[in-house]
Amino acid sequence: MAHGKLFFWKVPLNATPFSLMGISFAIFLGFRINASYDRFWEGRKLWGSVLVEARNLARMAQTFIAPAKEVRPFVLGLIGFASTMRNHLRALPPDHQTQGLLPQDLCNSLVNARSAPTLVLLWLGRWLQACRQEQLLHHYLEQNMESSLDNLSLALGSCERIANTPMPFAYTVVLHRSVYLYCILLPFGLVDSIGIMTPLAVTFVSYTFFALEALSDEIENPFGMDANDLALDTMVAGINASLREMLGETPPPAPQPDANFVLT
């Protein structure tokens, strides 16, 4: 290809149609990125609500149930819920990094469970029911704590909705192929107007389009293990540290980024 020719045939293109198509592609890419970022940010807010509700439940347990009953298993169960929720969203084994947080019989039942965090929520609800039957928890307070458990269940279900509902495949494929075709034809439309600067301009435009498309693909599922996904391990560690401090225990050291300054 030279001076807009392909196999000695002059390609009759100029910059005008590419300007119009570029604006259209930029708008479609903007919609794609906004949709992906909405999923990413909603996932972050849902995990923030898990932290808030876990703290609320731990505080109410220590305020209204202790010292009449040991509440440490319940508080550790809240940490176990956050851990199993992370494992569930990342398709990890249910018992990954949950040692010492949940009763052994519950851990055994989680091995073949399809939704381990749901079973942990069930155990937490039964623990509150036992406190109610032992007359250690007023009915009104039990309702408040059950409401917090409902919010944890809502956060879990909402995260599952994001993880199990990818962006429409047809939309992604059409946009991907259109961007490639645009970038392939772009040199023919620019060479007559900018000459020797055509490779530089095409490289810049192509890089921008491909980078935006890759970014939208990267954050579409925010619960994975990629560098730009949510740092779920760090969030679970934050919940662990916060609740253990409420128990009067020394929290483990905060997670440190890897060699690439990335937190998982």
Give me the number of domains the chain comprises: 1
pLDDT score of 4:
47
* Neighbour-count burial for 178-206, b at 16+ CB within 10 Å, e otherwise: ebeebbebbbbbbbbeeeeebeebbeebb
Mean of pLDDT over the chain:
87
Residue-wise pLDDT tens digits, 79-115: 999 999 999 999 999 988 898 999 999 999 998 899 9
| 29 domain residue, yes or no | yes
pLDDT of 2 higher than 60:
no
pLDDT digits (tens, 9 = 90+) for 49-58: 999 999 999 9
Q: What is the structure's pLDDT at 1?
A: 44
Note whether residue 160 is domain-resident. Answer: yes
State residue 82's pLDDT score: 97
Between helix 72-89 and helix 232-246 the angle, nearest 10°, is 180
- pLDDT tens for 16-25 read 777 777 787 7
> Is 213 contained in some domain?
yes
Q: Is residue 130 part of a domain?
A: yes
For residues 117-129, one letter each, b for 16 or more C-beta atoms within 10 angstroms of the residue's C-beta and e for the rest, the string is bbbbbebbbebbe
Range of the domain at 224: 9-246
Strand 5-6 to strand 9-10: parallel, antiparallel, or no bridges (unpaired)? Answer: antiparallel
Q: Identify the pLDDT of residue 13.
A: 58
Q: 253 lies in a domain?
A: no
Residue 208 counted as domain residue: yes
Q: What band does 5 get if pLDDT is binned at 50, 70 and 90?
A: low
Token pair of 183, please?
């970038």
Specify the pLDDT at position 3.
Answer: 47
Look at residue 15 in the predicted model and tell me its pLDDT.
67
Cβ–Cβ < 8 Å for 189, 5: no
Neighbours of 21 (CB within 10 A): 16
Residue 260 forms part of a structural domain: no
CA-closest candidate to residue 143, choices 133, 154, 129: 129
In degrees and rounded to multiples of 5, residue 219 shows phi and psi of -100, 5
Percentage, residues of the chain above pLDDT 90: 50
Non-local (6+) Cβ contacts of 62 within 8 A are 71, 75, 246, 247
Mean pLDDT of 246-257: 87
The reported pLDDT for the residue numbered 60 is: 95
Better-scored residue on pLDDT, 105 or 261: 105
The residue among 119 and 202 whose pLDDT is bigger is 119
What is the structure's pLDDT at 12?
57
What average pLDDT does the segment 151-169 reach?
Answer: 93
- Assess if residue 52 is contained within a domain: yes
The per-residue pLDDT for 252 is: 86
